[in-house]
Amino acid sequence: MRLRDYLPYRLSVASNKASGLIARAYQARFGLTIWEWRVIAVLGEGAPRTAQGVCEATAMDKVTVSRAIRALDARGLVRRSARDDDRRASDVRLTAEGEAIYAEVAPLALRYEAALLDGFTPQERAQLSALLDKLEARLAGLSPAGRSA
């Protein structure tokens, strides 16, 4: 096996490089980690979410999401409120300060995405998106051991 040709490795490297592009901007300006930004980004879509909902939306593990939410809560960027239907869970939403950070960073992230995709034709962009969708669907159908579910 050549690691450089191994798909999971290549996806990880590409993801790390792409995330690193924008991370420098929000880390320097707001002191956010990649994980904290991802929580802000998913909450910035508007609807409050439980920690489990954030995990599902971001594919981050529970421990990482919990730490990020705690750190953001301590900084006043999110607030948690108990759910009426399940007192063990809480809804997490951005505060006004969290929304302001989202409003500043999200357009910057979209500019980085546009620059990243600048060398692609519209057809290549559509094909890339379709292939990523197909790959994600395939991953959802595989068990952790790598066998079909």
| DSSP, residue by residue, 77-107 | SEEEEE-SS-TT-EEEEE-HHHHHHHHHHHH
Distance CA 30, CA 36 (A): 11
Nearest in space to 93 (alpha carbons), one of 37, 46, 56: 46
Cα angle 122-46-75, degrees, rounded to a multiple of 5: 115
**Coil vs helix vs strand at 49:** strand
Query: Do 83 and 89 contact (CB within 8 A), yes or no?
Result: yes
Q: At what angle do helices 62-74 and 51-58 cross, to 10 degrees?
A: 120
Name the average pLDDT for the chain: 91
pLDDT score for 149: 44
For residue 86, name the pLDDT band (cuts at 50, 70, 90): confident
Instruction: Express as a percent the part of the chain with pLDDT over 70.
Output: 95
H or E element in which residue 48 lies: none
**Average pLDDT of span 51-76:** 95
Task: Identify residue 146 by its one-letter amino acid code.
Answer: G
Residue pLDDT, tens place only, 16-57? 999 888 888 889 889 999 999 999 999 999 889 999 999 999
What the chain holds in terms of domains, given with CATH numbers, is 18-140 (1.10.10.10)
pLDDT score for 67: 97
Residue pLDDT, tens place only, 103-136? 999 999 999 999 999 999 999 999 999 999 999 9
**Which pTM value belongs to this model?**
0.84
Q: How far apart are the first and last CA of the chain?
A: 25
